[in-house]
């Protein structure tokens, strides 16, 4: 799902989902504890530089982590700062992006670098959404991972985890369900931005490693006891 624009719902809005506050707290506590033990050592998790985080988030759209790592390092060697990127020609940026595909990502990154150099990096999710090519997921990711803001984010992995655990009747790819999924994501957030950094990383990690689209590794899942769809071994959602 990520930043893809949802179509307008053809049917009425679903009733609000009731979430048990105790279950939400337990979910967050178990999830973050699991992440601290099992998180992958990824380069963009070692920085709070908004430029570097934004580069990683744009590269990770539609591209697997394993492929992104080498591109990420090479791109930052060529353009180590947002100022260096802004001074480059668009053709140079696109050339450095070659092999990742979806070149609109590179062009948008170049456009926004020039705006950021003029105006500074926005720190809040709603402000970040005004930058070229930045949708709700990427805005939430940069706000949380660079500035430690308490901001929800929903990508494909996060949506899968949240619907399986809290609302199996919702479908991440159904437009009329997306507002409810974002509401669940916000409800699960801890109170502080610093804890939200870990929480949002953990949500994505759980969806990438255990609660995957094709296989559900329920036996190893830290939130299995809370999951409303546990022990369903297959499924594309």
* % the chain with pLDDT above 70: 90
pLDDT band at 237 (very low <50, low <70, confident <90, very high): low
CB 154 within 8 A of CB 214: no
Structure tokens at 129: 């959404």
Any residues with CB less than 8 A from the CB of 21 and at least 6 apart, and which?
A: none
Using H for helix, E for strand and C for coil, what is the string for 138-187? HHHHHHHHHHCCCCCCCCHHHHHHHHHHHCCCCCCCCHHHHHHHHHHHHH
pLDDT at 3: 63
Least confident of 12-26, 33-47, 81-95, 117-131: 12-26
- At the top level of CATH, the class of 49-147 is mainly alpha
pLDDT band at 16 (very low <50, low <70, confident <90, very high): low
What distance in Å separates the CA atoms of residue 5 and residue 136, rounded to the nearest whole number? 9
Does the annotation mark 98 as catalytic?
no
3-state secondary structure of 46: helix
What distance in Å separates the CA atoms of residue 141 and residue 151, rounded to the nearest whole number? 8
- Specify whether domain 21-40+151-226 bears CATH 3.40.50.150: no
- The segment(s) of the chain belonging to CATH 1.10.340.30 are 49-147
- The segment(s) of the chain belonging to CATH 1.10.1670.10 are 21-40+151-226
- The one catalytic residue in 57, 98, 124, 205 is 57
Mean pLDDT of 30-54: 98
Instruction: Give per-residue pLDDT as tens, 144-164.
Output: 999 999 999 999 999 999 999
pLDDT band at 231 (very low <50, low <70, confident <90, very high): low
Give the pTM: 0.89
């Amino acid at each position: 799902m990520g930043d893809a624009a949802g179509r307008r719902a053809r049917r009425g809005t679903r009733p609000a989902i009731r979430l048990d506050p105790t279950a939400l707290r337990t979910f967050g506590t178990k999830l973050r504890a699991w992440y601290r033990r099992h998180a992958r050592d990824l380069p963009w998790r070692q920085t709070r530089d908004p430029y570097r985080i934004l580069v990683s988030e744009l590269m990770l759209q539609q591209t697997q982590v394993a492929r992104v790592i080498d591109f990420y390092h090479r791109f930052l060697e060529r353009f180590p700062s947002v100022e260096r990127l802004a001074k480059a020609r668009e053709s140079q940026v696109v050339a450095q992006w070659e092999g990742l595909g979806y070149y609109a990502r590179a062009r948008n990154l170049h456009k926004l670098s020039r705006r950021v150099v003029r105006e500074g990096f926005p720190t809040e999710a709603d402000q970040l959404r005004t930058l070229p090519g930045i949708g709700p997921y990427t805005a939430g990711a940069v706000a949380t991972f660079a500035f430690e803001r308490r901001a929800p984010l929903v990508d494909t992995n996060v949506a899968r985890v949240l619907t399986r655990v809290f609302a199996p009747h919702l479908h991440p790819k159904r437009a009329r369900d997306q507002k409810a999924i974002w509401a669940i994501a916000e409800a699960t957030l801890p109170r502080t931005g610093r804890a939200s950094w870990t929480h949002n990383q953990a949500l994505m990690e759980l969806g990438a490693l255990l609660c995957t689209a094709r296989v559900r590794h329920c036996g190893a899942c830290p939130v299995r006891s809370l999951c409303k769809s546990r022990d369903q071994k297959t499924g594309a959602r």
